[in-house]
Structure 1
């Protein structure tokens, strides 16, 4: 299949969508990003990479980091994880307080903010003051890039304006579902969301999930096939907040979005992908990025369905 030609076609066809949507300006550092950028990168198992647009431009991965932190938590707490965070779609905005209170501080899934904060709390229990270093080190390993780091300006911006996230963790603390100091947990959470990566780096980083937990290039196993299956299924059902059903309907791949405008996706047994465009739709997902992935699975017929 001529992936290069297909990506170039998509790059042309999504141009009208690049001016639609709105950047995540409730985080001031993200609001200053050039909104008209676009990148799409795919990585095959043999190491071949295809890309169009700004594939080497770094951006804030935001909630895509939840895939990596949940991977680490699965490895540490697989048998008890379900006691503190669920596996069902939320059907509500990613930062909803209403559902969390109704369900007594147990988040619906690890990909909404409350669920990711619980996961971070569990990692702090396991890794203590080395938690963020362990998270970054893991992402460096799966992306095969030791130079990755976070953007301190974005982390500070999130901390300064993260009122809703602070409300979430305080509510969960009141229900006994946060075990560590709130300030320690949120410092790690804001840092992990502010990790900067390019579309090319993110597509490489997701390759192990497309291959049942084993990096097909280095042959290193990061998680078991069973754990990879659980993670991929959650990406399909919960990876796009309250638009997860719409994404599964239109794109048909396990994926995870972030409000920095990135979306990662996998085609099991074949490839991993990343698209990036900063303008978001009303559900907090990249507008042009979602359309690009829909075009990709339509043109290639590579949906899992």
Structure 2
């Protein structure tokens, strides 16, 4: 059997090769504070199930988690209402862009899954129930901080304001769902909470640590925040829906459950083995990190990690 290359050596090689690729994609220009992020940044971090951690590149630099935050939001919403969430949002891939309204019109205001924007707005609306936006966001931040065992994780208010100012399409999704009775709060409240949720800043190291809650309850590794069954189901959604209309391509190339964000971050899980975070702010045509996807593919190949083994 071929020897497995030591993890730090793998990450250093990925940083020195893929991380320096001049073809880096484009930033999310429609969100003001993301448009001008330096494209030359690249970071990667791995938290192994045995407790060891490795990182390379700009892995300690905070970035906007954006839709990666939906992983934590859906865990919080499921903790609040359980499987009742699925009466309001589906579990199927959309096959369309993350902010598409087409399926909402066809399916009477019920989003296909909790990782496209419409589904994430419903998820936010769910965990907002019985709380003010400030209280709900405090609960979400506590969940993320507990998962990462790090209190130094915060919401970037400037990014949140910019998102609110450019959220016309998301407001349209919210009002359309409200018209079908699938939004419990005033869209202004839900959208304000949603935009702040997406503006949580984390570094690759913090995100990889936070993702450990999905490792299936590996003993002694981080707090147990969800059951093993729920962790599996969230990973199933990450595999089938976590990269929008590029989810099939990510599954084909990487073979691991993953969730991307337009800030350029990706969280991926090698079940029972590792939580992985990568960040490169340039996006591909699907709105997912271009070099991040390439780095995840290289890491999975180097370590022979795949759910299809």
Indicate whether the TM-score tops 0.5.
yes
Q: Secondary structure at the match of 1:87?
A: coil
For 1:271 and 1:86, locate their aligned partners in 2 and report how far apart those are by CA, in whole Å: 28
Equivalent in 242, 257, 260 of residue 263 of structure 2: 260
Cα deviation, 1:186-210, whole Å, max 9, x if unaligned, reads: 1110001001000000000001101
Q: Give 1:173's match in structure 2, choosing from 172, 178, 189.
A: 178
SS at match of 1:115: helix
Following superposition, the deviation at residue 46 of structure 1 comes to 3.1
Paired residues of 1:19 and 1:36 also in contact (CA < 8 A): no
Alignment match, 2:242: 239
Alpha-carbon separation, structure 1, partners of 2:168 and 2:13: 42
Q: Which residue of 2 aligns with 1:199?
A: 204
2:303 alignment partner, one of 294, 300, 304: 300
Residue 251 of structure 1, CA deviation: 0.1
Q: 1:209 corresponds to which residue?
A: 214
> Which ranges in structure 2 are unaligned for 5 or more consecutive residues?
none
Q: Give 1:61-76 correspondences, 5 Å limit.
A: 61-76=65-80
Contact in 2 for aligned 1:18/1:277 (Cα 8 Å): no
CA shift for structure 1 position 178 = 0.2
| TM-fit CA distance, 1:127 | 3.5
For these two proteins, the number of residue pairs brought into alignment is 303
What are the superposed Cα offsets for residues 101-155 of structure 1, whole Å, 9 maximum, x if unpaired? 1111000000000000000001111434410110011101001111211111100
TM-score by length of 2: 0.95
User: Structure 1-normalised TM-score?
Assistant: 0.96
TM-superposition CA deviations, 1:36-84 (whole Å, max 9, x none): 1000100112331111100110000000000000001111122311110
Please report how far the alpha carbon of residue 23 of structure 1 lies from its aligned counterpart in structure 2 after TM superposition. 0.2
Within the candidate set 102, 109, 113, 1:109 is matched to 113
Deviation at 1:213, TM superposition (A): 4.5
The two structures, once aligned, show a CA RMSD in angstroms of 1.3
Q: How many angstroms apart in 2 are the aligned matches of 1:221 and 1:15? A: 33
The correspondence for 2:26, drawn from 15, 19, 22, is: 22
- Aligned partner of 1:93 in structure 2 is 97
Query: 1:12 is matched with which residue?
Result: 16
The verdict on how the C-alpha distance between 1:131 and 1:107 changes in structure 2, with shifts beyond 3 A counting, is: same
Name structure 1 gaps, 5 residues minimum: none
